[in-house]
């Protein structure tokens, strides 16, 4: 498949053509429409082919390179993205440590907290039981005060009836499990998809609506392999992060 057929450009959008080209190539890489070691076209030739300024192609390629999706070899960019089942990118870190690794100061805010009963559709996706009381925490992680990651955490209040009283806005959810319940969390069934942000997520991350992002879904297990929770994570289009739930 030729790369140009995968590039979707909307010249009426607020986002730059360079960012749109980056998003299209990023999406093609993570959905495996382009194989590892696929050579990207020469920048000048690609600019002519797409009828865009050379600087837009250079911006897209530079962003792909900075985020480690491509590397330069013999003056040509090639795809060098490897997905390991135990490693989202190149390092195994908690969200907090991921931000520190990037040289920034981490912080987080609980944006929303609500309790609801699990319906059939939610149970099919998450493995909770029908009508379980579920605590949903939406947490915004910041790097040097700028939003970079939104996490939706879902915890059963039927399994952990006192969880809400233990959790406060200063704690990371996994620390509550470790300190209050003496549980070390594991993960399984991690699914990584490229999706477009809905309006609410985009607003929290200060991104343009429908920007391409990773959606990471994790089923959480305790050290006895009992299912205890579920999480969904979205990140900004430009932020390179790693995520490992086991502490």
183-213 pLDDT, tens digit each: 777 665 566 677 888 899 999 999 888 888 8
Q: Which domain holds residue 198?
A: 95-235
pLDDT of residue 242: 45
pLDDT of residue 86: 36
pLDDT of residue 89: 37
Q: Are 194 and 27 a contacting pair, CB within 8 Å?
A: yes
Per this entry, what is the length of the chain?
247
Distance CA 142, CA 203 (A): 14
Q: Are 243 and 29 a contacting pair, CB within 8 Å?
A: no
* Phi-psi domain of 48 (left: phi exceeds 0; alpha: psi -120 through 50; beta: other): alpha
CATH number at residue 48: 1.10.10.10
pLDDT of residue 171: 66
Q: Is residue 128 part of a domain?
A: yes
Q: What confidence category does residue 42 fall into, taking pLDDT thresholds of 50, 70 and 90?
A: very high
Q: Are 177 and 163 a contacting pair, CB within 8 Å?
A: no
CATH number at residue 175: 3.40.1410.10
Q: Are residues 69 and 99 in the same domain?
A: no
136-180 pLDDT, tens digit each: 999 998 988 999 889 999 999 999 988 888 877 666 777 788 778
Distance CA 240, CA 89 (A): 8
Q: Is residue 84 part of a domain?
A: no
Which pTM does this prediction carry?
0.60
Q: Is residue 240 part of a domain?
A: no
Q: Are residues 105 and 202 in the same domain?
A: yes
Residue (of 230, 244, 197) closest to 125 by Cα position: 230
pLDDT of residue 152: 92
pLDDT of residue 122: 93
- 246: number of CA atoms within 13 Å, CB side? 9
Mean pLDDT for 65-86 is 71
pLDDT of residue 55: 94
**Highest mean pLDDT: which of 62-66, 229-233, 240-244?**
229-233
Q: Are residues 68 and 100 in the same domain?
A: no
Q: Are residues 185 and 152 in the same domain?
A: yes
Q: Are 240 and 176 a contacting pair, CB within 8 Å?
A: no
Last residue of a domain, one of 79, 108, 124: 79
Last residue of a domain, one of 79, 104, 125: 79
Query: How far is the first Cα of the chain from the last one, in angstroms, to the nearest whole number?
Result: 41
Note the Cα 28 to chain centre separation in Å: 16
């Amino acid at each position: 498949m030729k790369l140009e057929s995968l590039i979707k450009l909307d010249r009426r959008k607020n986002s730059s053509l360079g960012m749109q080209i980056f998003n299209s190539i990023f999406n093609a890489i993570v959905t495996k429409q382009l194989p590892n070691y696929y050579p990207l076209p020469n920048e000048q030739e690609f600019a002519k082919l797409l009828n865009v300024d050379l600087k837009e192609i250079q911006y897209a390629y530079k962003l792909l390179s900075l985020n480690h999706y491509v590397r330069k070899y013999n003056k040509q960019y090639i795809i060098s993205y490897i997905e390991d089942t135990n490693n989202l990118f190149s390092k195994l870190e908690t969200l907090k440590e991921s931000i520190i690794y990037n040289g920034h100061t981490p912080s987080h805010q609980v944006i929303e907290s609500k309790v609801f009963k699990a319906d059939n559709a939610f149970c099919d996706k998450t493995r909770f039981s029908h009508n379980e009381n579920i605590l949903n925490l939406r947490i915004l992680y910041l790097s040097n005060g700028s939003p970079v990651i939104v996490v939706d955490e879902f915890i059963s209040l039927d399994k952990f009836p006192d969880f809400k009283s233990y959790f406060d806005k200063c704690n990371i959810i996994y620390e509550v499990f470790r300190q209050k319940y003496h549980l070390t969390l594991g993960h399984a069934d991690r699914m990584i998809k490229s999706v477009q942000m809905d309006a609410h997520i985009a607003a929290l991350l200060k991104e343009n609506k429908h920007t391409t992002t990773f959606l990471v879904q994790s089923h959480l297990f305790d050290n006895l392999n009992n299912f205890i929770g579920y999480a969904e994570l979205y990140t900004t289009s430009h932020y390179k992060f790693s995520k490992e739930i086991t502490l």
